[in-house]
Every structure is written in structure tokens, then in C-alpha cells.
Structure 1
Amino acid sequence: MLFHVRMDVRIPHDLPAEQAAEILAREKAYSQQLQQSGKWRHIWRIAGQYANYSVFDVKDNAELHEILSGLPLFKFMQIEVTPLLRHPSSIREDDS
């Protein structure tokens, strides 16, 4: 299943810099691992915001929830999820 996910990050200003850096390093490693596995298909930064649009390709809602809740920045995020279906006019065979 494909899901369009918007993630807005709100790191508290009073979070110690070294703690924030450690969380960000774990976040990057986790997200890159998911990208390499094909589960995190696309990620785009939203210009001028600490936010992104992403597309996930996972088995079901439960797997997506497990992935998102495993993000090191999860507790600092507002997340919106939209399930996607292949459009009948799509010419791309990999849009499943």
C-alpha cells in the first residue's frame, strides 16, 4: 500500500543541542535504512519549513504506524497520513 505522509517537526527550543544532534543522527540513519529497503519510497523537503512530504510503500496501516512511531523525532512531529491508490489512467506499472 502507498501512503502520502506529511511530517511537520517541532523540536523544542529548550532541548539541549547535544541531545537534539543525537536524535537527528538517529533519525537520518533510520530514514535512510527505510529508503534503502524500499519502504520509504520518496522524501521531499517543503521549502521554508521544517517539514517533508513522503511516500511510503508498506504492507498495511499497522506497518506504517510501526515505522512512523519508530522515528526518533516522532514525539516532536505532527503527522498527516493519506492512503493512495493507483489511478486507472496511470501509465506507470510500479504505481501499485
Structure 2
Amino acid sequence: MLAMVQMNVRIPLDFDKQEAERLKTHEKQRFQELQRAGKWRHIWRVVGRYANVSIFDVESNSELHDILTSLPLYPFMEMEVTPLCRHPSSLHEDDR
């Protein structure tokens, strides 16, 4: 199951800077782990914002929920999830 997730990160300005950097480091490690596992297929930065648009390839909504809530920056994120399916005109067979 493919899903597009739009993530906006909103760390409060008065949040401890060292803790924010620690969380960002762990977020990157978690992202790369999920990318290597094939779960987080794509990520694009939204220009001018601390935000991204990502494509996930998961077995279920529950798996996606578990992945998203496991992200170190999750408490500071606003997310919008859009389920996707293969377009019949796509030339890419791996678009499930």
C-alpha cells in the first residue's frame, strides 16, 4: 500500500536547542533505516519550509501509523496522509 504523507515540523522556538539537534540526528537515522528497509520510498523537501512530502510503501494503515509515531520528531509534526494506488497509465510496474 502506498501513501503520501505531508509533514510539517513545528519545533517551538523556546525548545532546548541541544535536544532539538539530538532529535534531528535520531530522526535522520530512523529515516535512513526505513528507507533501507523499503518502507520510506521517497522524500522531497518543501522549499522554504521545514516540511517534506514523502511516499511510504507499507502493508497496512496500522503499519504506517506505527512508523509515523515512531519518528523522534513526531511530537512536533503536523501530518496529512493520502492513500495512493497505481494509475492505469503508469509505465512503472512497481507502482502498487
TM category, shorter:
over 0.9
Over the matched positions of the two proteins, sequence identity in percent amounts to 57
Which runs of 4 or more aligned residues in structure 1 lie more than 6 Å from their structure 2 counterparts after TM superposition?
A: none
The corresponding residue for 2:88 is 88
Does 2:77 align with 1:77? yes
Q: Secondary structure at the match of 1:67?
A: helix
The normalised TM-score by structure 1 is 0.98
1:45 counterpart letter in structure 2: R
The normalised TM-score by structure 2 is 0.98
Pairs aligned (count)? 96
Question: Map of 1:1-96 to 2, 5 A cutoff?
Answer: 1-96=1-96
In the TM superposition, what is the alpha-carbon distance from 1:5 to its structure 2 partner? Answer: 0.4
CA distance in 2, matches of 1:74, 1:63: 15
In the TM superposition, what is the alpha-carbon distance from 1:89 to its structure 2 partner? Answer: 1.0
CA distance in 2, matches of 1:86, 1:37: 21
Which blocks of at least 5 consecutive residues in structure 2 are unaligned? Answer: none
